[in-house]
Amino acid sequence: MALAAALRVPARVLLRAGGQLPGAALGRTEQADGGGDGARRFGSQRVLVEPDAGAGVAVMKLKNPPVNTLSLEFLTELVICLEKLESDRSFRGVVLTSGACPAGGCLMTLTCDYRVLADNPRYCIGLNETQLGIVAPFWFKDTLENVIGHRAAERALQLGLLFPPAEALQVGIVDQVVPEEQVQSTALSAIAQWMTTPDHARQLTKAMMRKATASRLITQRDADVQNFVSFISKDSIQKSLQLYLERLKEKKR
């Protein structure tokens, strides 16, 4: 899915999903060696993980320039890094930092437990699919509706709105807006609060809250993929995407 281009730097908080991701252990994270960070970095150029085993938290930086396009390779790296942390019991929380969050990037953000956005009007967040002439999948819709409610989700999705920070906070698509240099520290504070709850109780609660939405996606996944492929392959839709990309290029000039 194509993504818009402006620089955006939200940080999002993700806590251990308690087996929500496939459990394949991909090797242990290298442990702290006494350095200030508490552990060695790992990952790739596109997904850089800075683990702090002492605090039980890792910061995961998504950098797939120019716009963090969610390619298969990028997503695979992301999942491998998450699984590594997931299988390492010394980690209880992850902070994702990203430089773009329209469409798929926004969806990733919405699955997190807490969202912090840099207070810079150039940074926007939203599901802007209709602006591209395409339609957000039902599980994007369900996830957005869980966060901001039905009416706000309908308006946001019909108009393909990208919310600048103040509006994003007001509609509830992010939880906090802070100066750019405080985004990561704010996310780390938030995750520290979430880690005060016993893990097993919090994980069961989270699973209960998201069960209906997740089940619906799992059940209808194949149909959704087929539906999307046949939709996106239409000449008219391709033309619509083409127009959108051309408008983007013109904006940049």
Binding interface with a copy of itself (CB under 8 A): 113, 129-136, 138, 141, 145-151, 153-155, 157-160, 172, 193-194, 196-198, 200-202, 204-206, 208-210, 236, 240
Please say which residue, 151 or 252, places its beta carbon nearer to a copy of itself. Answer: 151
Please say which residue, 28 or 211, places its beta carbon nearer to a copy of itself. Answer: 211
Strand order across the 114-118 sheet:
42-43, 47-52, 57-62, 93-97, 11-15, 114-118, 176-178
Among candidate residues 60, 120, 130, 52, the one with its CA nearest the CA of residue 94: 60
Rounded CA separation 253/250 (Å): 5
Please say which residue, 201 or 229, places its beta carbon nearer to a copy of itself. Answer: 201
CB of 72 to a copy of itself, least distance (A): 25
CB of 175 to a copy of itself, least distance (A): 8
Show the tokens assigned to 174: 């992010």
CB of 173 to a copy of itself, least distance (A): 10
Among candidate residues 145, 100, 150, the one with its CA nearest the CA of residue 125: 100
CB of 224 to a copy of itself, least distance (A): 12
Please say which residue, 7 or 209, places its beta carbon nearer to a copy of itself. Answer: 209
Residue 181 in 3-state DSSP?
helix
Please say which residue, 73 or 154, places its beta carbon nearer to a copy of itself. Answer: 154
Residue ranges in the chain assigned as alpha helix (H): 72-86, 103-110, 138-148, 150-159, 165-171, 183-194, 199-232, 235-252
Please say which residue, 205 or 230, places its beta carbon nearer to a copy of itself. Answer: 205
Within 10 A of 127 (CB to CB), how many other CB atoms are there?
28
CB of 131 to a copy of itself, least distance (A): 7
Residue for token pair 């957005």 = 144
Among candidate residues 13, 105, 11, the one with its CA nearest the CA of residue 66: 105
CB of 251 to a copy of itself, least distance (A): 15
Rounded CA separation 78/70 (Å): 10
